[in-house]
Amino acid sequence: MISFLFGKVRIVSSTTDIADIVKIIGGDHVTVTSIARGNQDPHYVEILPSYMVKVRKADIYFMVGMELDLWAQQIIDGSRNRKVMVVDCSVEINKMEVPTGQIDASMGDIHRFGNPHYWLDPENGKLIARMVAEKLINHDSKNAEQYQSNLTQFENDLNSAISIWTKRFSDLRNKNIIFYHNSWPYFSKRFGLITVGFLEPKPGITPSPSQLNQVINQIKENEIEVIASESYFSDRAPKFIESKINVRTVKLAQSVGAIEGADSYINLFETNLLILAKAYGVSYD
Ligand SMILES: [Zn+2]
């Protein structure tokens, strides 16, 4: 078993989405583990000594970046692995919601570099994959051809999936929606959903009764049919609203492994789009 592992590039990533892409690009030449589980809130990860042990032997660490996974730096520092190459997957991303004015604590958990949930646009999955391939090729040039061809295959698979999804789920376009947390601007832009509000009054702040009343008014005024939550939130606030007004609540996969069906990067989108199409009662054949 040890000889089987010998020579593989050892990779740790902050999230399961990046880990899945690393697996696709790296194939048999890499081992990869994600620090956060798919059904975990990626903003807040408790730092455990076992995570530092994982990073101690790693060759490359892939971060989400944009301050989503600030905890990753603590794990990397704590690992005392001086040789690990730390890669920020967000550098090539066209960033949304970059704040322009002053930022202060009263705004909640605002990210200085923009909204960090960029992996929820499948086009950005290609940019993550290119970054992963580039770093693997640099680190392990003898398998460069394999990494390159896995990248091409993944880009082709994603391209055809994206063109199928945009046709198949075109009835989701211009649907009003409320999300629990602001994880979905990249996803919504790609698939044409219109975000009217959030259950969180500010990012990272638990919904207050007055916020929930405001959301109920928004639902009335904008004829909102669906509230979508990240898998890690409690059902309490969405179910409370559902008990007061005619609206459907669903859970979506914010990461690979968050909910049943979202077992790969491509299946994450397929699963979320199907859940939304069913919730709105639109056709998706
Ligand atoms: Zn966030």
Q: Mean pLDDT over all residues of the chain?
A: 95
Span from the CA of 222 to the centroid of ligand 1 (angstroms):
24
DSSP three-state, residue 87:
strand
Span from the CA of 156 to the centroid of ligand 1 (angstroms):
29
Question: Which fold is adopted by the domain 171-279?
Answer: Rossmann fold (3.40.50)
User: In this structure, are residues 249 and 30 in contact, taking their beta carbons and an 8 Å threshold?
Assistant: no
Q: Which residue's structure tokens are 């003898």?
A: 142
Report pTM.
0.95
Res 5 pLDDT > 70: no
Q: Give the CA dihedral 265, 32, 130, 45, nearest 10 degrees.
A: 70
- Per-residue pLDDT, averaged over 170-196, amounts to 97
**What distance in Å separates the CA atoms of residue 197 and residue 194, rounded to the nearest whole number?**
9
Span from the CA of 191 to the centroid of ligand 1 (angstroms):
19
Res 79 pLDDT > 90: yes
| Pairing between β-strand 226-230 and β-strand 176-179 as defined by DSSP bridges | parallel
Span from the CA of 2 to the centroid of ligand 1 (angstroms):
39
pLDDT at residue 4, as a whole number: 54
115-152 pLDDT, tens per residue? 999 999 999 999 999 999 999 999 999 999 999 999 99
DSSP three-state, residue 102:
coil
Res 104 pLDDT > 80: no
Domain boundaries, the chain: 7-89+106-164, 171-279
pLDDT at residue 103, as a whole number: 72
pLDDT at residue 101, as a whole number: 77
pLDDT at residue 3, as a whole number: 45
Question: Which fold is adopted by the domain 7-89+106-164?
Answer: Rossmann fold (3.40.50)
Res 65 pLDDT > 90: yes
Tell me, yes or no, if the two domains 7-89+106-164 and 171-279 fold the same way.
yes
pLDDT at residue 149, as a whole number: 98
